[in-house]
Amino acid sequence: MVEINLLPQQERRGSRPDAWRYATYAVLPLTAAVILIPELTLGSRLSSLRAERDQLNGEIAALTPTKQEYDRLQGEQRTLEQVTAVATQLRDSKTYWTNDVAAFSAQLPRGGGVAITSMNVKPLDPGALATMQQGGVYAGKNVVREIDLSGTASSQQSVVNFLNTFENSPNFAVNFRSLQQDGDTGRYTFAASVGVVSQAAIPAPGTPGVTGDGTPPSAPIAAAPAGGTDVR
């Protein structure tokens, strides 16, 4: 039996395959590929990052004892630096007061009518010494430490004799400060500083026989006798 389509040509339904259907079939695999490929790439990257993280954690765990030892050594270094700084400061500021007091005691005059009531040893820096020497104090002597004194005396002459004992010594110098008499007892109270000389006395400029720079002048050269010198 043969079927004959009697409908007009414009009303007949197309019998050719639907193009949209084929297009849909083609798009589905592409869509799946677009979704799955980034997911697979991201998963691979995450796995790689996890492996790197585990490796770094292992290295950190292996280096932890070394880091702890380094921190301990750093702490010891800071402690030693602090101790060294304190030791250096003490070394630079020490005044050798034991030797100074012993030398001072050996220089004290016997039976001079003077009683010392207080004594303090302190260093004297070169800048302060230069300023004092410009005012005529400790002139010509390299004073490195001072012994501040206060005391009492039976008379003014006793104080003068006491201080002259140190002033006339090449190892000491004197900076007189004050002298007062007690109206009730008649005794004198005085204050002075005795400078401890580190080296031999340095002649002060202006001293007879000393040039302006503190050195003695050279000896004059004698004139040769007439007729020249006789060298044999």
How is the beta sheet containing 143-153 ordered, strand by strand?
114-123, 143-153, 188-197, 172-181
pLDDT score, position 206: 44
Tell me: the pLDDT tens digits for 134-176?
Answer: 999 999 999 999 999 999 999 999 999 999 999 999 999 999 9
Domain boundaries, the chain: 22-107, 112-197
Sign for the CA dihedral angle at 164, 166, 171, 173 comes to negative
Q: Work out the number of other CB atoms within 10 angstroms of the CB of residue 12.
A: 10
CA 78 and chain centroid, separation: 14
Rg, the chain, Cα only: 52
The DSSP 8-state label assigned to residue 205 in this structure reads T
Closest to 104 (Cα-Cα) out of 88, 120, 93, 90: 120
The helix (run of H) or strand (run of E) holding residue 122 is strand 114-123
Q: Are 122 and 154 in contact (CB under 8 A)?
A: no
Name the phi and psi angles at 43, rounded to 5. Answer: -65, -40
Instruction: Classify domain 112-197 by CATH number.
Output: 3.30.70.2830
Tell me: the pLDDT tens digits for 50-107?
Answer: 888 888 888 888 888 888 889 999 999 999 998 888 888 777 666 577 888 888 989 8
Write out the two tokens for 109. Answer: 């005059």
| Whole-structure pTM value | 0.48
pLDDT score, position 212: 38
The helix (run of H) or strand (run of E) holding residue 123 is strand 114-123
Q: Are 146 and 177 in contact (CB under 8 A)?
A: no
Name the phi and psi angles at 191, rounded to 5. Answer: -140, 135
pLDDT score, position 48: 85
Q: How far apart are CA 187 and CA 215, in angstroms?
A: 44
Averaged pLDDT for residues 182-191: 91
Beta partners for 181? 188
